Amino acid sequence: MTTPLKRGGAPPPAVPPTGGSRGAAAPGSPKGTEERRFLWTKLDTKASPYLFIAPFFILFAIFGLFPLLYTVWVSLHEWSLIGGNEGFVGLDNYARLMGDAKFWNALYNTLGIFLIAVVPQLLIALFLADTLNRRLRGRTMFRMVLILPYITSIAAVAIVFSQLFGTQYGLINYGLGFLGIDPIDWRGEKYASWVAIAIMIDWRWVGYNALIYLAAMQAVPKDVYEAAALDGASRMRQFWQITIPMLRPTIIFTVIISTIGQLQLFTEPSVFGTDGTMAGGTQGQFQTVMMLVFQEAMRYGNYGYGAAISWALFLLVVLFSIVNALLSSRIRSAS
C-alpha cells in the first residue's frame, strides 16, 4: 500500500536511480564537461604532432617511396617503351651493368668531375665567406651578387658557357691564343671537358655554399675573436684555430650535400653537350651516370636497364653517405 500524500505536506524524497556506476557524472554536468575537455586535450597533445607531419609522409610515400620501390621492380624485368613488361629477367640487367663499358666510363667521368669540382668549390666558398665576414663596405650587395649565379636560369648559363668554351670562337681559347697557347677542344678532350663542366658547377654553387658558411661564421661569438686578438693571434691564426673548428659541423654538412649532389650530376654536362643525345661527347668524354640513365631509358626505351643503372647509382650515393658519416663522427670524436 502507498501512503497517500497529505494536503500541504512535503513530497516524498526522490529515489536514486538503480543501475550504472554510483557517483557517475551526468552528461551535461560540469564534471562531465571537464572530463571530456581533459580527454580532448590529451588526445590533441598526443595526436596533433602526428597530424601535422602526416601530409609530408603521405606525399613522400606517394612520390618518393613508391617510385623507388617500383624502380626495383622494373629493374628486374625486361621493360621497353614499345613492348612494356616483357617478362621477369631477375638480375640480368645488373649482370649486364657489370660488363657494360659505357657504365664504367660514365662512373669514371662522374667521380672525376666530382673531385675537380667539389674541392675547389668548398675552399673558394670558405674564403669568400671569411672575406664577407669582415667589416666591408657594401657587404649586402656582395651577398646578393653571390647568390645570383644560383638563381640564374640554366638555359642562360648554357648559352654563356657555350660562348666561353667554344673551340673556334670561344673567349677562353681567344685568351689562350693571345698568350701563345694552342686552342683547346673543350668538348672533344676528356679532361678538358671535365674542367669546363667543373667551372660551370663551381660558378653556380660557390655563392650558395659561401652564404651557408657566412651564416655559420656570424654565429661564432665575437668575444672569442677579441680574446684571441688580445693574445696576439693574427687574422690567419684566428681563421685556422677558431673559425675552422667552429665551422666543422657546417663544413661536414656541405661536404655531404655536395657529394650527394655531384654524384647525381646531370644538368651541367647535359647542357654542355650541344647535340641533345645525352652521349656526353662523341666518345662519351663527359657522360655521367645520370646522363646514361636518361639515354638508356628515355632515348633508347630500355626502362629495365635504365632502372638498374639508377639503382646502382643510388647504392653508390648511400655508400658515399655512410663513408662521410663515419668520417664525420670520427672527426667530431677526435675534436
**pLDDT at site 43:** 67
Is residue 19 very low, low, confident or very high in pLDDT (cuts 50, 70, 90)? very low
Q: State what percent of residues in the chain have pLDDT above 70.
A: 87
Specify which of 54-58, 107-111, 135-139 reaches the highest per-range mean pLDDT: 107-111
**Using one digit for the tens of pLDDT, what is the confidence trace for 268-296?**
888 888 777 788 888 888 999 999 999 98
Name all contacts of 268-275 with Cβ < 8 Å and 24+ positions apart.
Answer: 268/197, 268/200, 268/201, 268/204, 269/109, 269/113, 269/197, 270/294, 271/154, 271/155, 271/157, 271/158, 272/158, 272/161, 272/162, 272/165, 272/187, 272/193, 272/196, 272/197, 272/200, 273/187, 274/162, 274/187
Specify the pLDDT at position 59.
92
Tell me the whole-structure pTM to 2 decimals.
Answer: 0.78
Query: Average pLDDT for residues 197-219, to the nearest whole number?
Result: 91
Q: How confident is the model at residue 80 (pLDDT cuts 50, 70, 90)?
A: confident
Residue-averaged pLDDT of the chain:
82
Rounded CA-CA distance 303/78 in Å is 8
Over range 114-123, report the average pLDDT: 92
The domain defined by 100-334 carries CATH number 3.40.190.10: no
Average pLDDT over residues 286-314: 90
**What percentage of the chain reaches a pLDDT higher than 90?**
24
Name the pLDDT band for 335 (thresholds 50, 70, 90). Answer: low
pLDDT of residue 272: 86
How many residues are listed for the chain in this entry?
335
Indicate the pLDDT class of residue 123, thresholds 50, 70 and 90: very high
pLDDT band at 308; cut points 50, 70, 90: very high
Lowest model confidence (mean pLDDT) among 142-146, 201-205, 290-294: 142-146
**Which of 28-32, 173-177, 242-246, 279-283 has the weakest average pLDDT?**
28-32
Q: What is the pLDDT of residue 30?
A: 62
Which residues does 65 contact at the CB level (< 8 Å), separation at least 6? none
- Tell which wins on pLDDT, 94 or 30: 94
Per the listing, cell 497517500 goes with: 4
- Whether the per-residue pLDDT at 38 is higher than 80: the answer is no
Q: Which residue has the higher pLDDT, 283 or 26?
A: 283
89-102: average pLDDT? 90
Pick 198 or 52 by higher pLDDT: 198
Q: Kindly report, residue by residue over 234-271, the tens digit of the pLDDT.
A: 888 888 888 888 888 899 889 888 988 888 898 888 88
